[in-house]
Structure 1
């Protein structure tokens, strides 16, 4: 056993804190057994300590019988007896035995016993009246010295308790001697106390070392016995021996059985002929057998040599180890070794290796094997000055299949995709599954860029054809990101990263296409990464603030409310456009805390405005996916004191497309609170009258693109605005025209029937102080920003 497994076996490795039970060594289990031994040793000497205390107490009582009050003397004697008996009972009743386990707390608890005994025996020397040089003082010092020595002997295995008892009692005696002016005696007592503690620690250290050595020897004996027993009982291991001519000698029955031959027949046969079997005559030896022949020829020791051989027509794998033998004259006399049948282990290893490198669902190479294949392809391309390619494939609309038909159907669909992808592969390509609905293709030779692009297009077309799965006709697509090595990455990891960025661009381009990597993609990705890191700390650093844009009555020009607009001023990037950081916050899952901060800040500010002025807050689809958003709204209103009818939440049509009716249920709970709801950018997305019929909107906002087109006389835009106004009026909803920047546009939307107007003509988004001033002054239809 080495120092790592039994650190206590080396005295120099034992630390004072370990000896006292304040920390473990490198092996906590061994130290737990050592602590149990310490407690058991203390238990065995418990009666000796008890007798020493009782005899010392009786001697002290007789010594001071005529000098100290009987009450004091009797009370102290009872105290000593009680403490001594208690300590003895605690030691004798301990559950720890040699060979068991004890915690650090168990060992540390013995300090209480030492402190209690020290306090009890400090009373005579501190309280009883002893005169310097008197016979009673000398006798008491002798009693305490003997008692300290007995304690050091009986409690030595429990070093912490011994230090507490001997050190505490020695300190009391020293203090008493110094007080009465006996400095020489005090010095002698101090030296005596330190010597006892040192002796105690050395004895405790010796006990630990002895116990650690016993544990090491016991475990070593157990290990050797186990190995011998296993070797004797198993039928998969055998001994073999050859002479100087490499013929089998002393053939063991197990070796003969492994060869499926008779021990008599095998005796004297060439060892290589026994292993070669039917191939001995043909000379078609396996590489393992040739390696064994070389080792035997050069007379080198070897181990873990694996070779394949045929036994009774069945392929088996053996593992051999051996060393050369020499006689007393130093002459070579053969080999002696051991053999094992490792066929099952090799089969298991092959199975584990396949499971580690192949996807269990599709049977395609998994991410690990794809990475290894790509690394080899890149090494070959770098060696010969060629090029390789890596394609990352993502299935489009696959999530909808899983969500609607369930994961079993989705798994079968993935298997069909894998089959189609595998059919497209030639000798130059390898495909695999990275995980989920992501696949990959490695092209070892990509010098022909047209062939690479053609394969990417064939993959998209093949995977986009309909699938028949369990009487379901399924339609999915595929997007492909393409990277060429080593041009787009010097390592496999870099090339995969480049293909991933290209795939991201392909999905942004509308899906169902392939996109090759471009250097600016990495620049954009790095910019997004740095921007995301800054965005994660923007709220904590107070970089976010709100601007408020006025919303006025179209007919009178009077202020009806403000729309709260989020702004971000970063010390690193300056003023960041909301069109840039809002989508990023949604992708990074930061929109929840940011949106909550916006809502609470806007409500708190609106509570300072006149009671007729409302505030509108934009809400994203991600916020509405959280059922706790209703609680956030309620809390924001309660904390700010804003009445519910003055809060208006603005949502876009993407809310409904994102989560179906789940968003509607959250909105209905918000509407039940009395909060107003506005449909923003109506007509620019997936317009549907179903949204308006399912949800009680209070107003519809007409996008600024329609307003600007209508101001230029575009008939379609004018018709759309009129239709929206008519629809809103029929449903009892207000209409808000966005982006009104001129008086002409204001009059136009008035004529078209819009009830509210918002835009630069009436006011740009204002900082909070200016918005407060605007909210407090009078508005009319002639006021412009």
Structure 2
């Protein structure tokens, strides 16, 4: 093997990416030539992945230009998705892939803080490549946030929230942004829900699990029904609640059909983010949910809000309760807001005050901290 000669160039090439799913984004300096890449420990860049060959590829620096050459690897080297058969020039912002491990090539020059449009586009492209990995390998990490009874602050359930360790896909907003480009929002929603319930089997059996849908799923209720039946078979006795975004609640015909399926499967229904957009009180009468989750914009800062705003929220809570629906306050972060929400009549709550979303190993509470599960209000 050729010795790796340190470069004296004023321009420094970097590879930005993750060596494993469990570590944060890294910036690796290509500081010698040839710069070898492989699974072996003696490589310039050692990648601990079984898909990467022992000596996989090498990177050459030629007068501040970068070239990559595959060394007969099993699973290939790619530049912008095209397999390298001999060697290939690499430009700033290009995506360089060794088997399944992807990096973005960048330059550290005299203007390191200048983020170009080209680099923004490359980051999005890298996220899309990672999204394919997320979907095919179900590389999601379900997190669980406690839901508590307002009076005792005892946990009676958890909401499943999707997370990932992949670059550009760490939270649901980033995941669904990538999914929207590929028209895969419904498929992503199912994976997040399925993995959450599967992992959530480790939570004590009496605890409620709240899980989400995406509005795109309501367009094909047959597929959603099949997914829900699979979840019920996976955990036959688990109390479950399906959350529907409040904008979807305006689709009365679809909601009636969905409500019928949920009743058959003994799965509760919650309308999420109430007060944030299109939902009206009439939808609560036509297809009543079991839980109504008041949007945090109505709840946060309620302790210092005007008397008129407090009375408005109190009246909404009262009407909700009169319909046999459990009112739930979302986004509680301050003790003062908790106390006012209790006075306004909320039955239960969720927010950082009671616990942040955590993986199962850290989110499941000790038995002494868990209350009895709240009954599903009016499961029909």
TM range (shorter): 0.5 to 0.7
SS in 2 for 1:600: helix
- 2:274, 2:293 within 8 Å by CA — same for their partners in 1? yes
1:615 deviation in Å? 0.5
Counterpart of 2:147 in structure 1 is: 551
Establish whether residue 591 from structure 1 lines up as the match of residue 181 from structure 2: no
Answer yes or no: is 1:680 the counterpart of 2:272. yes
Cα displacement (A) at 1:588: 2.4
Partner residue of 1:412?
Answer: none
Question: Which residue of structure 2 aligns with residue 151 of structure 1?
Answer: none
Whole-Å separation in 2 of the counterparts to 1:717 and 1:651: 26
Q: Indicate the SS of the match to 1:579.
A: helix
Q: What's 1:165 paired with?
A: none
In structure 1, how many angstroms separate the alpha carbons of the residues matched to 2:331 and 2:234? 33
Q: Specify which structure has the higher proportion of strand.
A: 2
The one of 339, 346, 350 aligned to 1:747: 339
Aligned residue number for residue 629 of structure 1: 224
Q: Which has the higher contact order (CA 8 A, sep 6+)?
A: 2
| Alpha-carbon distance in structure 2 between the residues aligned to 1:672 and 1:607 | 21
CA displacement, residues 340-387 of structure 1 (integer Å, 9 cap, x when unaligned): xxxxxxxxxxxxxxxxxxxxxxxxxxxxxxxxxxxxxxxxxxxxxxxx
1:737 deviates by 0.7
- Distance in 2, Cα, partners of 1:631 & 1:526: 37
Structure number having the greater helix percentage: 1
Q: Report the CA distance shift for 1:642/1:523 in structure 2 as closer, same or farther (over 3 A).
A: farther
Which of the two has higher C-alpha Rg? 1
**Deviation readout 1:546-570 (Å, 9 max, x if unpaired):** 1100001001222110000000211
In 2: Cα distance, 1:544 partner to 1:754 partner: 33
Provide closer, same or farther for how the CA distance between residues 680 and 716 of structure 1 changes in structure 2, counting only shifts above 3 A: farther
Aligned-pair distance for 1:762?
0.9
Cα displacement (A) at 1:640: 2.9
Please report the TM-score for the alignment, with normalisation by the length of structure 1. 0.31
Deviation at 1:716, TM superposition (A): 4.7
**Are the structure 2 counterparts of residues 640 and 611 from structure 1 closer, same or farther at C-alpha, using a change threshold of 3 Å?**
closer
Instruction: Identify the match of residue 233 of structure 2 among 634, 638, 658.
Output: 638
Alpha-carbon distance change, 745 to 527 in structure 1, aligned in 2, over 3 angstroms: same
Preserved CA contact (<8 Å) 2:202 2:360 = no
After TM superposition, give the deviation of residue 527 of structure 1 in Å.
4.2
Q: Which residue of 582, 592, 616 maps to 2:176?
A: 582
1:692 partnered with 2:284: yes
Output the CA distance in 1 between the equivalents of 2:182 and 2:307: 41
Distance 1:775 1:550 in 2: 12
SS of aligned partner of 1:589: coil
Structure 2 distance, partners of 1:522, 1:661, is 46
Two-structure CA RMSD over aligned residues (Å): 2.5
Alignment of 1:607-622 (within 5 A): 607-622=201-216
Contact 1:671 / 1:677 at 8 angstroms: preserved in 2? no
Partner of 1:776: 367
**What do residues 122-154 of structure 1 show as CA deviations (whole Å, max 9, x unaligned)?**
xxxxxxxxxxxxxxxxxxxxxxxxxxxxxxxxx
Alignment of 1:436-451 (within 5 A): none
Distance in structure 1 (CA, Å) of the matches to 2:124 and 2:155: 39
Aligned twin of 2:317: 725
Question: Which residue of structure 2 aligns with residue 652 of structure 1?
Answer: 245
Q: Does 1:756 align with 2:324?
A: no
Q: Deviations over 1:660-700 (max 9, x none)?
A: 63354234322332210001110111131232122130011
- Preserved contact between residue 156 and residue 370 of structure 2 (Cα < 8 Å): no
| 3-state secondary structure, aligned to 1:629 | helix
How far 1:726 sits from its partner (Å)? Answer: 0.9
The correspondence of residues 255-270 of structure 1 with structure 2, limited to 5 A, is none
Distance 1:642 1:696, change over 3 A: same
| CA displacement, residues 3-24 of structure 1 (integer Å, 9 cap, x when unaligned) | xxxxxxxxxxxxxxxxxxxxxx
Give the conservation status (yes or no) of the 8 Å contact 1:682–1:701.
yes
1:533 is aligned to 2:125? no
Q: What do the CA deviations read for 1:503-544 (whole angstroms, capped 9, x no partner)? A: xxxxxxxxxxxxxxxx98776555444422321221334531
For residues 559-615 of structure 1, the C-alpha deviation after alignment (integer angstroms, 9 at most, x for no partner) is 110000000211x44x63322322432452223332222222232334333332100
Q: Is the Cα contact below 8 Å between 2:301 and 2:337 reproduced in 1? A: no
- Is 1:765–2:357 an aligned residue pair? yes
1:274 maps to what in 2?
none
CA contact (8 A) 2:292 2:328 kept: yes
- Cα distance, 1:669–1:587 mapped onto 2, change above 3 Å: farther
- Write out aligned runs for 1:203-218 (5 A): none
> Residues 274-289 of structure 1 correspond to what in structure 2 (within 5 A)?
none
Distance 1:522 1:728, change over 3 A: farther
Provide the C-alpha distance between the structure 1 equivalents of 2:259 and 2:116, rounded to a whole number of angstroms: 41
Stretches of structure 1 lacking an aligned partner (at least 5 in a row): 1-518, 781-785
Are the equivalent residues in 1 in contact too, given 2:255–2:287 (CA < 8 A)?
no
